[in-house]
Amino acid sequence: MTLDLPVVFAALMGLAILAYVVLDGYDLGVGMLMPAATADEQDVMVASIGPFWDANETWLVLGIGLLLVAFPLAHGVVLGALYLPVTAMLIGLMLRGVAFELRAKAEGWHAELWNWLFWFGSFLASLAQGFMLGRYVTGFQPGFGYLLFALVTGAALCGGYVLLGATWLIGRTEGRLQKEAIDWARWGLLWVALGVALVSLATPFVSETVRGRWFDFPRTLALMLLPAASAVAWLWIWRSTGRLKRGERAAEWAPFGGAVAIFALAFAGLAYSMFPYVVIDRITIWQAAAHPSALWVMLIGVAIVLPFLAGYTVFAYRVFRGKARAGLYGH
Amino acid sequence: MTDAAQALLLARAQFGLNIAFHILFPSLTIALGWFLVYFRLRYERTREAAWLDTYRLWTKVFALSFAMGVVSGIVMSFQFGTNWPGFMNNVGNIAGPLLAYEVLTAFFLEATFLGVMLFGMNRVPGWLHILSALMVAIGTTLSAFWILALNSWMQTPAGHVLADGQLIAGDWLAVIFNPSFSYRFVHMMLASGLTAAFVVAGLSAWRLLTAPQDAGAQRTLRAGTLVAALLAPLQIVVGDLHGLNTLEHQPAKVAAIEALWRTERGAPLVLLALPNEAARRNDFSIEVPKGASLILRHDPDAEIRGLEEFEPDRPPVAPVFFAFRVMVGVGVGMLALAWFGAWRLRSGSAAPRWLLWAYSAFTFSGWIAVLAGWLVTEIGRQPWLVSGILRTADAAGSASGAELGASLTGYMLTYSLMLLAYMVVVTHLARKGASA
Domains in chain A (CATH in brackets) are 5-319 (1.20.1630)
Question: In angstroms, rounded to a whole number, what is the distance separating the alpha carbons of residues A253 and A257?
Answer: 6
Q: Which residues of A touch B89 (CB under 8 A)?
A: 72-73, 76
Mean pLDDT of A79-86: 82
Half-sphere exposure of A131 (CA within 13 A, CB side): 18
Which segment of B81-90, B176-185, B226-235, B426-435 scores lowest on mean pLDDT? B426-435
Q: Give CA–CA dist B196/A135, Å, rounded.
A: 43
All residues of chain B having their beta carbon less than 8 Å from the beta carbon of residue A95 are 414
CB contact under 8 A, A91 and B116: no
Please state the rounded mean pLDDT for residues B291-295: 83
In a domain, B279, yes or no: no
The answer to whether residue B291 is domain-embedded is no
**SS3 of residue B208 by DSSP:** helix
Which residues, including other chains, have CB under 8 Å from residue A320's CB and lie 6 or more apart? A51, A52, A329, B115, B119, B120, B123
Q: Is A283 helix (H, G, I), strand (E, B) or coil?
A: strand
Which of B17, B36, B77 is the best substitution to test chain A (most A C-beta atoms within 10 A)?
Answer: B77
Region of poorest pLDDT, from A170-184, A202-216, B18-32, B33-47:
A202-216
| Separation CA B297–CA B303 (nearest Å) | 8
Residue type at position B409 = T
**From CA B268, how far away is CA B294, in angstroms rounded?**
9
pLDDT score for A107: 66
- Note whether A170 and A256 are within 8 A (CB): yes
Chain B residues close to A66, C-beta within 8 Å: 100
Rounded Cα–Cα distance for residues B364 and B360 (Å): 9
Query: CA of A166, closest CA in chain B: separation in Å?
Result: 22
Contact yes or no for B111 and A58 at CB 8 A: yes
Using CB atoms and an 8 Å cut-off, which of residues 39-78 of chain A contact chain B? 50-52, 54-55, 57-58, 60-62, 64-70, 72-73, 75-78
Identity at B243, one-letter amino acid code: G
How many domains would you assign to chain B? 1
**Average pLDDT over chain B, rounded to an integer:** 86
Query: With bands split at pLDDT 50, 70 and 90, how would you rate the model's confidence at B173?
Result: very high
Tell me if B386 is assigned to some domain: yes
Give, in order, the Cα–Cα distances in Å from A103 to each of A113, A168, A296, B175. 8, 21, 44, 44
Q: Is A319 on the interface with B (CB under 8 A)?
A: yes
Q: How many angstroms separate the CA atoms of B275 and A288, rounded?
A: 45
CB distance A223 to A241 below 8 Å: no
d(CA A161, CA A155) in angstroms, rounded, equals: 10
Please report how many Cα atoms fall inside a 13 Å half-sphere around the Cα of residue A81, on the Cβ side: 20
Closest CA to A132 of A179, A98, A85: A85
What is the ipTM for the molecules in this complex? Answer: 0.73
Does residue B280 belong to any structural domain of this protein? Answer: no
Domain span at residue B249? 3-263+305-432
**B64 and A101 in contact by Cβ < 8 A?**
yes
Pairs across A and B, CB distance < 8 A: 202
Q: Distance between CA B283 and CA A128 in Å, rounded?
A: 51
- Helix or strand holding residue B168 (H, E): strand B166-169
Query: Which chain B residue is nearest to residue A110, measuring alpha carbons?
Result: B421
Closest partner residue to B119 (CB to CB) among A50, A290, A305 is A50
CB B35 within 8 A of CB B200: yes
Grade residue B229 by pLDDT with cuts at 50, 70 and 90. Answer: very high
In a domain, B274, yes or no: no
The verdict on residue B298 lying in a domain is no
Condensed to tens digits (0 to 9), the pLDDT of residues B245-271 reads: 888 888 888 888 888 888 888 888 888
Q: How far apart are CA A148 and CA A86, in angstroms?
A: 18
Q: Is A83 in Cβ contact with B101 (below 8 Å)?
A: no
Tell me if chain B has a CB within 8 Å of the CB of A232.
no
For the ranges A161-175, B108-122, B162-176, B258-272, the one whose mean pLDDT is highest: A161-175
Longest dimension (CA), chain B: 69
Non-local (6+) Cβ contacts of A315 within 8 A are none
Q: Which residues pair with A279 in a beta bridge?
A: A283
Record: contact A97-B67, CB cut-off 8 A = yes
What spatial distance separates the first Cα and last Cα of chain A, rounded to whole Å? Answer: 53
